[in-house]
Amino acid sequence: MVPDFCTCGAQLPPDARFCHKCGKPQYDYPGITEEVAPLEAPIPTPAAAPIPVLEISFHNRLAVRTGFLAAVSGVLVFLFPLPFPLVRLLVALLAAGFLAVFLYSRRSGQMLSIRGGVRMGWITGIFCFVLVSLLMTAAMVAISNQGGLANFVRTQLPANDARADTLAQVLGDPAALAGSMLFALILFFVILTALPMIGGALGAKVLARE
């Protein structure tokens, strides 16, 4: 309710909010409270899913493809006509294991441990053994069609060499020939798998420093 007279004595018109003489307000305005909007909780961003770490085995398709590619490369380097075949074999197989670890790390984004590098080199070595065995089998078939293994050995040795008769006797004995072939396969398996495993371990150790 607005009074009829202000405290200064001036007569106020009806519903006057201020005195026209002294400017005094004639009633108190209710306080206006400003509503503060509640703060919205930040929406949590989903964490990036961790990259799954796949075990290096023959069940890992990427590891199998990479090992086969590295094995083919290593065998081709070994077959390249360069001097010092033993040194060439050593370098080719070590490089095959190293290459397998390098390619797998680049394709999968997974840095391999030394154990993983050894397993990657072992897969590569298995493929190297299979490829070399196939090549040796094809060579043996070709030699057999050209007169047999004994005649081939004789042609590779100098004339009147005493070793020719000894080798001919060994190659003419089926039991001795089978034992020699088995020993050669075991030796080739050990060499063709051990060297890529060493190369894979070296590759994992070198790449882990980068």
How many angstroms from the chain centroid is the CA of residue 41? 41
pLDDT tens-digit profile of 163-172?
666 666 666 6
5 φ, ψ to 5°? -130, 145
Considering only residues 133 and 161, tell me which one the structure prediction assigns the higher pLDDT. Answer: 133
Q: Which pLDDT score, from 0 to 100, does residue 93 have?
A: 93
The SS3 assignment for 148 reads: coil
Are the beta carbons of 101 and 112 closer than 8 angstroms?
Answer: yes
Domain assignments of the chain as residue spans, ordered by start: 61-208
> pTM, whole model, 2 decimals?
0.65
Q: Which pLDDT score, from 0 to 100, does residue 129 have?
A: 94
pLDDT tens-digit profile of 92-124?
999 999 999 999 999 988 888 999 999 999 999
CA distances from 5 to 25, 27, 61, 153, 176 (A): 12, 13, 99, 139, 138
Name 5's bridge partners: 11
Q: Tell the residue number behind the tokens 């020993």, with chain if given.
A: 183
Are the beta carbons of 198 and 121 closer than 8 angstroms?
Answer: yes
Q: At what angle do helices 61-79 and 174-208 cross, to 10 degrees?
A: 110
The SS3 assignment for 172 reads: helix
Mean pLDDT across the chain: 79
Are the beta carbons of 12 and 26 closer than 8 angstroms?
Answer: yes
Q: Which pLDDT score, from 0 to 100, does residue 82 have?
A: 76
Q: Which pLDDT score, from 0 to 100, does residue 196 have?
A: 95
Over residues 148-161, mean pLDDT: 61
First-residue to last-residue Cα distance in the chain: 85
